[in-house]
């Protein structure tokens, strides 16, 4: 059994992080990406939330989603 993988990175809006100090993950975009890959036969096999530095004082989060499917 062989599998193939795809990785999708979905980031918070940088402008909201700069002006408001924090923003939330774009849930609608995450749903759209996951539904699109699901229609193509991909399954979510791993997901992690990372924090990336934005300039000197701010950080923003990114969801790294790994999809897999059998060949």
Dump pLDDT digits (tens) for 1-50. 899 999 999 987 765 544 555 556 778 889 999 999 999 999 999 999 88
Q: Domain tally for the chain?
A: 1
Tell how far CA 41 is from the center of its chain.
18
**3-11: strand order across its sheet:** 3-11, 58-70, 43-54
**CA of 44: how far to CAs of 2, 24, 54, in Å?**
16, 21, 28
Q: What is the pTM of this model?
A: 0.76
Domain that holds residue 22: 3-70
Dump pLDDT digits (tens) for 19-28. 555 556 778 8
């Amino acid at each position: 059994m062989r599998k193939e993988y795809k990785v999708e990175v979905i980031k918070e809006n940088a402008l909201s992080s700069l002006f408001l100090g924090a923003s939330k993950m774009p849930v609608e975009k995450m749903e759209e990406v996951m539904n699109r890959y699901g229609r193509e036969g991909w399954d979510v096999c791993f997901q992690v939330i990372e924090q990336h530095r934005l300039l000197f004082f701010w950080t923003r989060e990114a969801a790294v989603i790994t999809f897999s499917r059998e060949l």
